[in-house]
Structure 1
Amino acid sequence: MTGDAFRVRHVDLDAIDADADAGDSPSLSIFWWKDLPVGMRASLPDELPYTKARLRQFTAEFSAAQMAARSTSLGAPIQATDEGRPKSALSLAAAFEAKNLIDGLDELATASSASAQDISVVICTRDRGPALAECLRSLAGQRSAPGEIIVVDNSRDGNARMVCMQFAEVRYIHEARPGLSVARTAGIRVSRQAIIAFTDDDVEVHAGWTAEIARAFAEHDVEALTGLVLPARLDTVAQRSFQFDMGGFGTTFVPLVFGRRFFEETRPNGAHVWRIGAGANMAFRRSVFDRIGLFDERLGAGAAGCSEDSEFWYRLLATGGACLYEPRIVVFHHHRSDWPGLRRQMRAYMKGHVAALVVQYDNFGDRGNIVRIWKKLPAYFLRTFLRTLFEGPPGRIGILAAEVEGWLAGLQFLLRFGWRKRRTLPPQALAEEKT
């Protein structure tokens, strides 16, 4: 589905009974029930507009998943499985027959009014002034204002200062040392609130973002949160390839707890912590940084490439913590719009992933990380090559080549012994893992 531009449209199933706004172009329809995101579907023009019956089916299907995952009688939110996704406990037929279906969805879709004054929002930016301005405008429209907004400018010349001066509520910090982890650490150190939320400068946040973060931490005893990352636009081939061929940042619309079960099930092949979420939409209790340390400055954009977020989640789970994925916490991400940019991104992702696997092995001695480097990733490359050779889509081979290049570049970290000795794991975390 990468040939023609896709229109990203948002459909409130509670507000319409006929799909009159479909248009004549391919669409990625993101379905909501009031303020609750419930699912998405990609459709070609001949599948649109959706009929009333189809919309009713969507409502029943999505409500089945929501009620299964969020019903307190079922012990929600449910634990993530080894695949990082839930298994529905409510059938589609049962959802159709449920007399209280609408009442149940209405209750689930109640927007949070929780105060966000205990939240510090940290945005790390580098040479992307216009994008940063859009991000800050979306934060200015929050229905629960955060306690503070901190922009960490990681550019050499401090070029984000002029953008930040347009927003009176923003605290500006210049961190000239390059690296996303370095910038995030700078943001943590100057922040004042008990909860620290991160998003990126190429993101626009939903109006309820901070309120939903506050509600989730109030209702659940976890140290970390991640949320739903939706595409802002799918105008270009590169954007559509990232969303449809590479999976974007995930498509799960029900909450999941990533804890000990998930970690132990996936540990033999390198715990699948990248399934937990994305650094563009994550939040932490301040206490977790005291317990397991800060982001590893060897990882992330400007250093090894990426995966500083997933390595942090690995540490969190390995030392007995848990992370809640809550799709009520919504942001809209602007994917790379040009093909060279996407190739560079995927190369960096794979290089950083390998670097993080090395760090995880050094910190905890889990051989599954080495198994993933030498066995699981080459097997993934081969499967992808064979599938793409016969089924397409066009351009996937080029992205695969970038991933292989990133893997090869990442192997250097196995031999960089000085780099490997620069561990950032606190003694307390090591002690917790041993027990």
Structure 2
Amino acid sequence: MTAERTSVIVCANSSDRYPQLVAAVGSVLEQSRTPAEVMVVIDHNPELWGRVARRFPDLVVLENAGPPGLSGARNTGTAGARGDIVAFLDDDAEADPGWLEALTSHFSRPEVLGVSGFAEPRWAAGRPRWWPDEFDWVVGCSYRGLPPTAEPVRNLMGCAMALRRDVVRAAGGFDTGLGRTGTGAAGCEETELCIRAAEIHPGGVFLHEPAARVHHHVPASRGTVGYFRSRCFAEGVSKRLVTRRTGAGRGLASEYTYTTRTLPAGVVRNLASALRGDPAGVLRAATIGLGLGATSVGFLATRGRRAHAAGAVAVFPSVDPVLPVVVDVCESPRPLRRAPDEGSYARAWCLLLEDGIPVGEHELALDGTEETTTDLLERLGAAGAGGVGRRTSPDRRGRTRRDATVVIATRGRPALLAECLQSIAAGTAVPDRVVVVDNARPDDETEQLVTRYRMPGSELAYVREDRPGLALAHNAALGHVETGLVAFTDDDVWVHERWLENITNAFDADPDIMCVTGMIAPRELDTLAQQWVEAQGVYSKGFRSRVFDNGEHRADSPMYPYAAGTFGSGANMAFRTDFLRTIGGFDGALGTGTVTKGGDDLAVFYDVIRHGGRLTYEPSAIVLHPHHRDYAALRRQVYGYGAGLGAHLTRCVLDEPRAVVAMLRDHRAATARLATILHPPQSRGLPAYPRDLSRAQRSGLASGPARYLLSRYGTRGPSERRVST
């Protein structure tokens, strides 16, 4: 029997999957045809190796003798195997009793080089309704588009496959530069091996045998949009690496048919399903677009440059930290913050105010003698900062604005929240009430903080919103706002002492104003990532007050008012409460914490203009924001910005189809505007802004439409908000 000449190899590296590994090995031992041997290869995990060796003393348990990763483990198993055929089963898959018999029955034909079976997903939390069958390969399973009967294929699927051992050896084994590792999700090592083997053995074939079935465990963590997108991106990176080794013709032959036939058919089928009464069909169709886009971006992201392994950390030149200071010529001297290493800053970035009004920013070389803001003012005056002279103004602290509420949405950051509350309490004006929304809370620490916190002159309210999403959290707060004005800020900012005073004064000055946004200045500039953000002007909208509406204050841009980023940012915004309720509050399908990753602030600013409201940017309403310190976090952020923008623009088109006409009419100007967003100007004095960040934002933008459709139609349900006070 062919099965009796087969060595079955199970590779594992994670102690967390030990129960699945035991089940996988158990399913091999219960096959209808007994294999020659069962081998378990442990990938650089001594603790797991010892545990498996004790659990299965009669099996061959090896340690990976090659580089870390699935390819190295498979090569180790192949080198030690005694059988003429090597069959591989994933450590989180269980084989049907007839799996090995069905898999190996074809090897009686000499032209057969390898055979793979059918992997059926076993979803731990149930199959997501938005997940299309065409993308089951994302979780290592067979997908719609594979042949329904035993037929030739270009390459095998690694979850449950068998190859002639001599074929693997002649091809030089699996490429250890491909394949999954403990930290990376790359793959395609089976594809690359099969292409090389086919070159060595002309006339040889690989078969897909649906009767050789296994059940692949899919944990709940893999049934998320985030995992779906990242795995598709990693697949694109892997495909690019394969084409570099084999050429595009062979490396993408199957993918061409998949993308031109299987995926379009899937979109049509799922939309038809939606028309027949299955609303999730729209989500599955949108997810097909998201998956294709993410895979394409992963493929293109490595073009023309050396691809880094998944999870690799980008390395950039170090820069000296810069001290950001907001200094008012009317204030009393304040001590300067020390550098992170308790040393001295070499440079300072100064936002200069005159009686609370921003008048400019200046960079200043420090000599180590500066100790207070007065020293900086003297240095700035000597450097020609406008003949600054220090004055004093009366202390107006503690005045309560009974017509104002401040809302802060937070999630698991009580220390930062406490600092934010402290800065609000220190303002020249304090709100009548502060509403803290605990969004999808991981623990009760925020509730405990709010319960014991006391803010003179203000009431503090705690609201719980269990559904994740910044817009949902803000909407939950609206039910607890009884004042005419409501301001929103983030839990990680410090508000300037004049913030609430100045943002509410803007409403007092013009009864037609429905929304006010303010300046966001840097709280830290210690790292290159933070300095890049500030240099690109992501948050600051300038030093001049600006008014926007649909009348005399229309901006001269084809993207107006759709490109709402020019209006302000969500960390610093305020509204007339009744008007905000009238326009429906915030779009719950958008925002940090949702699939769309952002765009909620852009959408609400656009809604203000669209519904006839007037919006004012008031630079004197200042908050200080801690930009992301490390590159990886910055990359995630710019991807999220792109995704949020794409989702917001999709919303504009769905709610107002004439937006498409406006954009197409002046498509060149619109394209130029998008190019400015995606490719910021060169930062003077800093290393070049990485193209990788621009690619990440472009990738996010491309994913935005599918993300918005998923979020908009996937979160529909009862409108009640789960809150508690």
Q: Into which bin does the TM-score normalised by the smaller protein fall?
A: 0.7 to 0.9
SS of corresponding position for 1:55: coil
SS of corresponding position for 1:278: coil
Residue 229 of structure 1: aligned partner = 520
- Rounded to whole Å, the distance in 2 between the matches of 1:185 and 1:414 is 18
CA shift, 1:330, in A, is 1.4
CA shift, 1:41, in A, is 2.0
Residue 266 of structure 1: aligned partner = 557
- Rounded to whole Å, the distance in 2 between the matches of 1:306 and 1:21 is 32
Q: Is the 8 A contact 1:152 1:173 kept in 2?
A: yes
Residue 361 of structure 2: aligned partner = 40
Could you report, residue by residue, the CA deviation over 1:44-71 in whole angstroms, capped at 9, with x for unpaired residues?
559x984645335376xxxxxxxxxxxx
- Rounded to whole Å, the distance in 2 between the matches of 1:350 and 1:384 is 8
Residue 6 of structure 1: aligned partner = 322
Residue 141 of structure 1: aligned partner = 426
Residue 618 of structure 2: aligned partner = 326
Residue 453 of structure 2 is aligned to residue 167 of structure 1: yes
Change in Cα spacing, 1:122 to 1:288, as seen in structure 2 (3 Å) is: same
Could you report, residue by residue, the CA deviation over 1:210-246 in whole angstroms, capped at 9, with x for unpaired residues?
22233221111211111111111111121111111x3
CA shift, 1:361, in A, is 1.5
Match of 1:295 among 586, 589, 598: 586
TM-score between the two structures when normalised by the length of structure 1: 0.74
Match of 1:281 among 539, 555, 572: 572
Change in Cα spacing, 1:289 to 1:255, as seen in structure 2 (3 Å) is: same
- Rounded to whole Å, the distance in 2 between the matches of 1:176 and 1:383 is 33
What aligned pairs does 1:105-116 form with structure 2 within 5 A after superposition?
A: 115-116=400-401
TM-score between the two structures when normalised by the length of structure 2: 0.46
CA shift, 1:122, in A, is 0.5
Q: Is the 8 A contact 2:364 2:380 kept in 1?
A: no
CA shift, 1:248, in A, is 3.2
SS of corresponding position for 2:320: coil
Change in Cα spacing, 1:218 to 1:262, as seen in structure 2 (3 Å) is: closer
Match of 2:635 among 343, 348, 354: 343
Change in Cα spacing, 1:138 to 1:157, as seen in structure 2 (3 Å) is: same
Match of 2:538 among 248, 260, 273: 248
CA shift, 1:347, in A, is 0.4
Which is worse superposed, 130-139 or 33-42?
Answer: 33-42
Change in Cα spacing, 1:405 to 1:149, as seen in structure 2 (3 Å) is: same
Which is worse superposed, 155-164 or 403-412?
Answer: 155-164
Residue 78 of structure 1: aligned partner = none
Q: Look up the equivalent residue of 1:312 and give its one-letter code.
A: V
CA shift, 1:163, in A, is 2.1
Match of 1:393 among 684, 687, 704: 687
Unaligned runs of 5+ in 1: 60-101, 424-435
CA shift, 1:148, in A, is 0.4
Q: Is the 8 A contact 1:316 1:322 kept in 2?
A: yes
Q: Is the 8 A contact 1:2 1:240 kept in 2?
A: no
SS of corresponding position for 1:30: strand
Report % sequence identity: 28
CA shift, 1:391, in A, is 10
Residue 412 of structure 1: aligned partner = 706
Q: Look up the equivalent residue of 1:337 and give its one-letter code.
A: R
- Rounded to whole Å, the distance in 2 between the matches of 1:136 and 1:327 is 21
- Rounded to whole Å, the distance in 1 between the matches of 2:680 and 2:619 is 34
- Rounded to whole Å, the distance in 2 between the matches of 1:205 and 1:360 is 32
Q: Look up the equivalent residue of 2:325 and give its one-letter code.
A: R
Q: Which has the larger radius of gyration?
A: 2
Change in Cα spacing, 1:388 to 1:152, as seen in structure 2 (3 Å) is: same
Which is worse superposed, 142-151 or 116-125?
Answer: 142-151
Change in Cα spacing, 1:118 to 1:384, as seen in structure 2 (3 Å) is: closer
What aligned pairs does 1:45-60 form with structure 2 within 5 A after superposition?
A: 50=379, 52=381, 54-57=383-386
Unaligned runs of 5+ in 2: 1-316, 339-343, 368-375, 718-725
Q: Look up the equivalent residue of 2:484 and give its one-letter code.
A: A
CA shift, 1:125, in A, is 0.5
The answer to which structure, 1 or 2, has the higher relative contact order (CA under 8 A, 6+ apart) is 1
Residue 119 of structure 1: aligned partner = 404
Could you report, residue by residue, the CA deviation over 1:311-359 in whole angstroms, capped at 9, with x for unpaired residues?
1111111222111111221111111122111111110111010100011
Q: Look up the equivalent residue of 2:350 and give its one-letter code.
A: S
Q: Is the 8 A contact 2:489 2:572 kept in 1?
A: yes
Change in Cα spacing, 1:51 to 1:354, as seen in structure 2 (3 Å) is: closer
Residue 463 of structure 2 is aligned to residue 177 of structure 1: no
CA shift, 1:111, in A, is 7.1
- Rounded to whole Å, the distance in 1 between the matches of 2:498 and 2:516 is 15
Residue 312 of structure 1: aligned partner = 604
What aligned pairs does 1:80-99 form with structure 2 within 5 A after superposition?
A: none
RMSD value, Cα: 3.8
Residue 478 of structure 2: aligned partner = 188
Change in Cα spacing, 1:199 to 1:379, as seen in structure 2 (3 Å) is: closer
Q: Look up the equivalent residue of 1:292 and give its one-letter code.
A: I
Q: Is the 8 A contact 1:361 1:369 kept in 2?
A: no
SS of corresponding position for 1:294: coil
- Rounded to whole Å, the distance in 2 between the matches of 1:44 and 1:383 is 30
Residue 660 of structure 2: aligned partner = 367
Change in Cα spacing, 1:162 to 1:420, as seen in structure 2 (3 Å) is: closer
CA shift, 1:189, in A, is 1.2
SS of corresponding position for 1:163: helix
- Rounded to whole Å, the distance in 2 between the matches of 1:205 and 1:379 is 31
Could you report, residue by residue, the CA deviation over 1:141-174 in whole angstroms, capped at 9, with x for unpaired residues?
2232211010000033443112212313421111
Could you report, residue by residue, the CA deviation over 1:54-100 in whole angstroms, capped at 9, with x for unpaired residues?
335376xxxxxxxxxxxxxxxxxxxxxxxxxxxxxxxxxxxxxxxxx
- Rounded to whole Å, the distance in 2 between the matches of 1:321 and 1:9 is 34
Could you report, residue by residue, the CA deviation over 1:263-321 in whole angstroms, capped at 9, with x for unpaired residues?
46324566332111111111111121233111001111112111211111111112221
- Rounded to whole Å, the distance in 1 between the matches of 2:405 and 2:463 is 14
Could you report, residue by residue, the CA deviation over 1:101-127 in whole angstroms, capped at 9, with x for unpaired residues?
x9xx999x9979974111111100012
- Rounded to whole Å, the distance in 2 between the matches of 1:140 and 1:21 is 21
Q: How many residues align?
A: 373
Q: Look up the equivalent residue of 1:220 and give its one-letter code.
A: D
Residue 488 of structure 2: aligned partner = 198
